[in-house]
Amino acid sequence: MTTTVAPTTPPASAGGGDRYKWVALFNTTLGVLLVSINESILIIALPDIFRGIRLDPLVPANFFYLLWILLGFMLVTAVLVVTLGRIGDIYGRVRMYNLGFAIFTVFSVLLSVTWLHGAAAGAFIVGMRLGQGVGGAFLFANSPAILTDAFPSNQRGMALGINNIVGVAGMFIGLVVGGLLAPVDWRLVFVVSAPFGILGTAWAYLKLKDNGIRTPARIDWWGNILFAVGLTLVLVGITYGIEPYGTSAMGWTSPKVLTELATGVALLVAFAVVETKVAAPMFRLGLFRIRAFLAGNVAALLAAIGRGGLMFVFVIWLQGIWLPLHGYSFAVTPLWAGIYMLPMTGGFLIAGPISGILSDRYGARPFATSGMVVAALTFIGFDFLPINFSYLPFAGLMLVNGLAMGLFASPNRAAVMNSLPPDQRGAGAGMSGVFQNSAMVLSMGIFFTLIISGISSVLPRSLYGGLVAQHVPVKTAALVSHLPPITSLFSALLGYDPIKTILGPAALAKLPAHSAAVLAGRTFFPTLIATPFSDGLTLAFTFGAIACALAAVASLLRGKKYVHAGAHAARPVEVTPDPHEVRTPVSAAAPAGSAQVRSSLER
């Protein structure tokens, strides 16, 4: 017996709901923007947050709070986005989206009323950020599918382009918003999301409609558990891999990290096997038979790996070296780092919608491929800049990089979503989302590893010589110079004066006045770290260029413009229900729909 679940309203692509599609675009774009801003807003706001809760993040015992407040949101979003996309296919994408908006808003409100201090406050913020990430995963997983349902295929590039580019730009907008609000009151970085969340939740509940095709099925519990635990272990292992271990600058040789990575990979392999056996898998491996879907996701993964770590590299470069050398105190460098990175955001916002509109007519391949080629060239250009660069060429390269990434992102997202059968858009969007969100954490781990590898052999010697030259006792200088390089990098990332933080006021007070003034000044640490950091940058930019070049190759292999045959279907699509469930047929729809779905998987 077969069962058909019809859309609750006629799809916009079928000729109705022309006004509705714009409601869907604006609401889902608001949701994605809020989530992406919250992914990055704490990078700049962390110093004020830690001062506000009276917790020193550079004390080894507190390193847990630093990593998890910074990355916990991204980890949860990456792990859950596939599961929640699949659940959206089963129970309704708008229903799951609305639930996600409500969850995100509740945890945003709870974050803004933190009254605790010290480790208790750190643990509370970590917990609330994880909850906020759950809501973000609901929004990320279902918004592309909602837009694909609402817009006809000849307008999806424009709609998904606006949605995706605003989301990516939100990562950079969050840097500025955090830098502006946190000095006033650290709670404002959480408060700012609450009113928009309340508005978006109410608006979504009242106006959004489930006009997509739902696929009744049982939830794949084994697949969900194996995937969630396996991916969590891999991402946590990567996160702790950049933390010092014993006498090593990084933790990649730590038994704990190796066990997490090995166990995580083994569980993901088991997950892939399970997904080929169950009747209604969470991860539709068969979708990878669609060339446009496979190539688009591989390209998106590589592009996100190249882009994600770049933001952290620029923040450290600006805050730790360039801004202090140009007269900015360490306390204000977080805000100005966000401001000076705005050209990249501008490039995203300019190129994204335009390339999305053009890809609706000409297909994604020329725009996405050329975007990745140009992005690879900008990575090479960044490597040719001196450490103490002139801002105009730096801003020009950032603008071109943003234009290139925008040129890629919108057409690529539209091509991926157009390639999906209508009843599997939620699962497909979730699968795309897990690649993009996991890539952010993976990228950070890779870029930090490359930077630390570049500076670890040179920094101790430079630091020791510089400190001794300023009359720091040899024993103290030797101790400080052998501290893990990541301590200096995170000091710069947090807007702290690294030398003053590492030595401490008591040690500075014992030095001659001139030496103490030099060490506490704005130029000592930036000058000291410039050469070692340059070596690390070369490794990082080389990797970024290679990742983007490989993304261009993957994009080129996607084939010509392809829209799934079922994308225009206004009628219900036949599905096969779970054999253990009894349902009343809604209609006796023609069986051609399921044949379209099956035939598409063979492309």
Each residue of 52-89: pLDDT tens digit? Answer: 888 877 776 777 787 788 778 888 887 787 778 778 77
Quick: pLDDT tens for 561-578: 766 665 444 333 333 343
Residue 76 DSSP class: H
Quick: pLDDT tens for 194-220: 889 899 999 988 988 877 666 666 777
pLDDT attached to residue 252: 86
More confident residue, 249 or 21: 21
pLDDT attached to residue 344: 87
**Could you tell me the CA-to-CA distances from 493 to 35, 232, 238, 315, 321 in Å, in that order?**
22, 25, 19, 7, 11
pLDDT attached to residue 376: 95
Domain assignment present for 318: yes
Q: Are residues 316 and 387 in the same domain?
A: yes
DSSP 181-193: HTTT-TTHHHHTH
pLDDT attached to residue 565: 64
Quick: pLDDT tens for 88-139: 777 888 888 999 999 999 998 898 887 888 889 889 999 999 999 999 889 9
Lowest mean pLDDT among 103-117, 151-165, 195-209, 302-316: 151-165
The CATH number covering residue 295 comes to 1.20.1250.20
Is pLDDT above 60 for 51?
yes
Using pLDDT thresholds of 50, 70 and 90, give the confidence band for residue 428: confident
Gap between the Cα atoms of 421 and 597, Å rounded: 6
Is pLDDT above 60 for 332?
yes
Q: Are residues 272 and 350 in the same domain?
A: no
**Could you tell me the CA-to-CA distances from 179 to 214, 333, 335, 336, 402 in Å, in that order?**
43, 9, 4, 8, 21
One-letter amino acid for residue 164 of the chain: N
pLDDT attached to residue 566: 57
Q: Are residues 414 and 366 in the same domain?
A: yes
pLDDT attached to residue 507: 79
Residue 423 DSSP class: G
Q: For 298-322, what is the mean pLDDT?
A: 85
Final residue before a domain boundary, out of 261, 281, 301: 281
pLDDT attached to residue 552: 95
Q: Are residues 292 and 276 in the same domain?
A: no
> Is 73 in a helix, a strand, or coil?
helix
Is pLDDT above 70 for 355?
yes
pLDDT attached to residue 15: 37
Domain assignment present for 338: yes
Using pLDDT thresholds of 50, 70 and 90, give the confidence band for residue 454: confident
Q: Are residues 313 and 415 in the same domain?
A: yes
User: What's the domain range around 154?
Assistant: 7-219+282-456+532-563
Residue 479 DSSP class: H
Length of the chain: 603
Gap between the Cα atoms of 426 and 431, Å rounded: 9
Gap between the Cα atoms of 197 and 135, Å rounded: 11
pLDDT attached to residue 217: 63
Domain assignment present for 584: no
Quick: pLDDT tens for 230-287: 888 888 888 788 777 777 777 888 899 999 999 999 998 998 888 888 777 777 777 8
One-letter amino acid for residue 334 of the chain: P
> Would you state the structure tokens that stand for residue 190, as one six-digit string?
């959480």
Q: For 505-519, what is the mean pLDDT?
A: 83
Is pLDDT above 60 for 515?
yes
Gap between the Cα atoms of 347 and 396, Å rounded: 10
| pTM of this structure | 0.76
Domain assignment present for 63: yes
Q: Are residues 69 and 184 in the same domain?
A: yes
Q: For 289-309, what is the mean pLDDT?
A: 87
| Contacts (Cβ under 8 Å, ≥6 apart) of 553 | none
CA atoms within 13 A on the CB side of 5: 18
Q: How far is CA 351 from the centre of its chain?
A: 20
Lowest mean pLDDT among 160-174, 410-424, 570-584: 570-584
Domain assignment present for 517: yes
Q: Are residues 111 and 99 in the same domain?
A: yes
The percent of residues above 70 in pLDDT, for the chain, comes to 88
Q: Are residues 469 and 549 in the same domain?
A: no
Q: Are residues 275 and 288 in the same domain?
A: no
Residue 586 DSSP class: S
Gap between the Cα atoms of 533 and 386, Å rounded: 11
Q: For 544-555, what is the mean pLDDT?
A: 94
> Would you state the structure tokens that stand for residue 139, as one six-digit string?
């929004």
Domain assignment present for 342: yes
Q: Are residues 408 and 452 in the same domain?
A: yes
Most confident stretch, 62-76, 356-370, 373-387, 552-566: 373-387
pLDDT attached to residue 562: 65
Is pLDDT above 80 for 351?
yes
DSSP 90-135: HH-HHHHHHHHHHHHHHHHHHHTT----HHHHHHHHHHHHHHHHHH
Gap between the Cα atoms of 53 and 119, Å rounded: 8
- Average pLDDT score, the chain: 80
Long-range contacts of 62-65 (CB under 8 A, 24+ apart): 62/119, 62/122, 63/243, 64/122, 65/119, 65/122, 65/123, 65/125, 65/126
Domain assignment present for 571: no
Using pLDDT thresholds of 50, 70 and 90, give the confidence band for residue 380: very high
Q: Are residues 345 and 290 in the same domain?
A: yes
Owner of token pair 């996309």: 85
Domain assignment present for 207: yes
Q: Are residues 54 and 170 in the same domain?
A: yes
pLDDT attached to residue 213: 65
Is pLDDT above 60 for 352?
yes
Domain total in the chain = 3
